[in-house]
Structure 1
Amino acid sequence: MSGLLLQFGTSRFLQAHADLFLHEARMAGQDVPAVVIVQTSGSAARAGRLAAFSNPEGFPVRIRGLEDGQPVEREVQVKSVTRGLSTAADWPEIVSLFAEEADYILSNTGDSGYSVAPEEAGQGLDSSAPLPSFPGKLAQLLLARYRAGGRALTILPCELINRNGPVLKAIVTDLARGAGADAAFLAWLDTKVIFANTLVDRIVSEPLEPAGAVAEPYALWAIEEAPGLVPPCTHPSIVLAPDIEPYERLKLHILNLGHTVLADIWQREGRPAGETVRAILSDPAIAARLDALYRDEVVPGFAARGLGREAQAYVETTLSRFRNPFLDHRLSEIAGNHAVKIERRIAAFLAWAGTPAPTLQNIVSR
Structure 2
Amino acid sequence: MLSQQMAAAHPILQFGTGRFLQAHVDLFVAEALRQGQALGHVTVVQSTASPQSSARAAALSLGYRVEVRGMQGGRPVETTVEVDSVQTVWHADRDWSQLLEAMATSVQVIVSNTADAGYVLNDADNAELLQARNVTPRSFPAKLLALLYHRWRTLPAAPLTILPCELVSRNGDTLRNIVVSVARQWGTEPTFVHYLQAQCVWVNSLVDRIVSSPLEPAGAVTEPYALWAIELQPGLVLPCQHPAMVLTDDLPQFEQRKLWLLNLAHTFLADRWLSLSRPADETVLQAMHDPLMRDPLESVWADEVLPVFDAEGGGLQARSYLVELRDRLLNPFLEHRLADIAKNHEEKLQRRILPVVERAVHLGLGISQPLLRQSLGLPTSNR
| TM-score range relative to shorter protein | 0.7 to 0.9
- Report the equivalent of 1:126: 129
Write the distance in 2 (CA, Å) between the matches of 1:92 and 1:346. Answer: 47
Which residue among 146, 155, 173 is the counterpart of 2:162? 155
Alpha-carbon distance between aligned partners in 2 of 1:175 and 1:364, rounded to the nearest angstrom:
38
SS at match of 2:155: coil
Report what 2:17 is aligned to: 10
> How many angstroms does 1:27 deviate by?
1.2
Aligned partners of 1:85, 1:215: CA distance in 2, in Å?
25
Q: Is the counterpart of residue 288 in structure 1 residue 295 in structure 2?
A: yes
List per-residue Cα deviations over 1:280-314 (Å, max 9, x = no partner). Answer: 22222111232232233322332332222322332
Aligned equivalent of 1:139: 145
User: What's the CA shift for 1:267?
Assistant: 5.3
Whether the aligned pair in 2 keeps the contact of 1:25 and 1:32 (CA below 8 Å) is no
Superposed displacement of residue 243, structure 1: 2.0
Measured against aligned partners, the alpha-carbon deviations of 1:116-143 in whole angstroms (never above 9, x if no partner) come to 35x479x426244444432232222211
Q: AA paired with 2:88?
A: R
Segment of structure 1 superposing worse, 351-360 or 37-46: 351-360
Q: Distance in 1 between matches of 2:178 and 2:302?
A: 37
Q: Deviations over 1:71-104 (max 9, x none)?
A: 2211011000123333344333333333433111
Counterparts of 2:93 and 2:271 in 1: how far apart (Å)?
Answer: 35
- Say if 2:160 and 2:237, in contact at 8 Å, map to a contact too: no
What is residue 225 of structure 1 aligned with on the other side?
232
> Normalization by structure 2: what TM-score?
0.84
Is the contact made by 1:125 and 1:140 (CA closer than 8 Å) also made in structure 2? no
Partner of 2:365: none
Residue identity in the other structure for 1:180 = G
- Counterpart contact for 1:301–1:354, Cα < 8 Å: no
Rounded Cα–Cα distance in structure 1 between residues aligned with 2:276 and 2:46: 36
Partner of 1:22: 29
Give, as a single letter, the amino acid of the residue that structure 2 aligns with 1:197: N
Contact 1:125 1:176 in 2 (8 A): no
Kept in 1: contact 2:109–2:237 (CA 8 A) = no
* 2:142 counterpart letter in structure 1: G
Residue matched to 1:62: 67
Instruction: Give the whole-Å Cα distance in 2 for the aligned partners of 1:46 and 1:76.
Output: 22
What RMSD in Å do the two structures reach over aligned CA positions? 2.8
CA drift of 1:16 comes to 1.1
Q: Deviations over 1:185-216 (max 9, x none)?
A: 01111121111111111121111111111111
Per-residue CA deviations over 1:153-196 (Å, capped at 9, x if unaligned) read 10111112222111211111111112212110011111211111
The yes-or-no answer on 1:113 pairing with 2:157 is no
Secondary structure of 2:66's match? strand
**In structure 2, distance between residues paired with 1:163 and 1:146:** 24
2:89 paired with 1:84: yes
- The equivalent of 2:174 in structure 1 is 167
Three-state SS of the structure 1 residue aligned to 2:321 is helix
Give the conservation status (yes or no) of the 8 Å contact 2:14–2:112.
yes
Compute the displacement of 1:247 (Å): 1.3
Matches within 5 A, 1:1-366: 2=8, 3-55=10-62, 58-116=63-121, 119=123, 123-124=126-127, 126-127=129-130, 128=132, 129-150=135-156, 151-266=158-273, 270-335=277-342, 341-342=348-349, 344-347=351-354, 349=356, 354=361, 359-360=371-372
Contact 1:255 1:318 in 2 (8 A): yes
Q: Whole-Å Cα distance in 2 between the matches of residues 82 and 332 of structure 1?
A: 38
Shift of 1:361: 5.6
Q: How many matched pairs? A: 362
Q: Structure 1: where are the runs of 5+ without partners?
A: none
Judged with a 3 Å threshold, the aligned counterparts in structure 2 of structure 1 residues 364 and 231 are, in CA distance, closer, same or farther, namely farther
SS for the counterpart of 1:126 is helix
**How far apart are residue 42 of structure 1 and its match?**
3.8
SS in 2 for 1:64: strand
Instruction: Give 1:35 shift.
Output: 0.8
Partner letter of residue 65 of structure 1? G
Q: Is the 8 A contact 1:51 1:83 kept in 2?
A: no
Distance in 2, matches of 1:71 and 1:149, equals: 49
Name the amino acid aligned to 1:85. W
